[in-house]
Amino acid sequence: MRVEHSQLIKAKENIRSLEKLERELVKIDQEHNELELKEKRYHKKLMEEKVDVERLEGISVTGIFTTLIGKKQEKLTKEKREVAEAQLKYQEAKQSKAETRQELEEIKEKMQALGNPKETYEHLLKQKQQEIVAETSETGVKLLELDDTIADLKSNKKEMEEAFVAGQQAKHALSEALTSLDKAKNWGTVDMFGGGFITTTIKHGKIDDASREVHQAQSLLRKFSRELDDIGQQFNADLSISGGLTFMDYFFDGIISDWLVQDEINHSIEKVENIYQQTNDTLVKLEKLIEETYNTLKLMNERWERLILTILGENSSTSYGV
């Protein structure tokens, strides 16, 4: 039974997929360890402050501040501000750690499903080489080399497209966070002109929304950054974005400094806008790379088709004794 062009390409793609998963596993494991250290550090601080850590489970940004300063919205002392910061960052690290643990399990399952693609590829390649030797076709050797090139290009394109989707998801999450922060800012303006407790409560609720959405964006940015690191190393491309593990720290620092002050909401908006712009700029670069890879792949496929026609012509000539 002859080895088909599609079999070789699929086997090579599976090798690339497994290699990518192995790299992701290492990176996510490193992130998981960093988050575990952060969780322990903030947990230790909370224990030193005699904070009931178990009671913090699921509590919102608003809830933490209300617990510390009461509904009268008194000024946060330096000590209470540090406790609030530790509580928020402890929760964030714990949640992110659980998410990276889940990612690790999912990657291991995908790796197991792929089996041993290298062994499959080598078996198919050996069989194909034997076919070429039997046919003594120089064109067949070129075809085999082209198969390998096409497989690499298809894998490259697939990886770029996956990164692009991750980037679009992160961009959308950042946009949602900006919307919530803008709403909090608008309610804060009303509050500054004597809106009272109700408007203050609504503003804080919007900050809770933004906090959840920034967390979602951070998770997606971590994934996007991993994809970009992989692509950047392969193509020596300038693809980078700030974010990852420190993104939420920056966000919380903005609202913890004095979360009731309008300028601090503006500061948080500026930070999220900056990362949003970086994400958008990177997506533009990535889209260009995808287009270039697509065009190269198209040329290689056309060359492959011409070689097939050449082989068919050679076989026809041999059959008719020409």
| pLDDT tens sequence for the chain (322 residues) | 677 778 888 999 999 999 999 999 999 999 999 999 999 998 888 888 776 655 555 555 555 555 554 444 444 566 666 777 788 788 888 988 999 999 999 999 999 999 999 999 888 888 877 776 666 567 777 888 888 899 899 999 999 999 999 999 999 998 988 887 787 666 444 343 344 443 444 455 666 777 788 788 888 888 888 888 878 655 555 555 554 555 566 566 555 544 444 556 677 788 888 888 988 998 999 999 999 999 999 999 998 888 877 766 655 444 433 3
How many Å apart are CA 169 and CA 127, to the nearest integer?
43
How many Å apart are CA 181 and CA 115, to the nearest integer?
46
Name the DSSP class of 258.
-
One DSSP character per residue, 178-243 reads: HHHHHHHHHHHHHHHTT-HHHHHHHHHHHHHHHHHHHHHHHHHHHHHHHHHHHHHHHHT-----S-
Q: Token digits for 257?
A: 């400094």
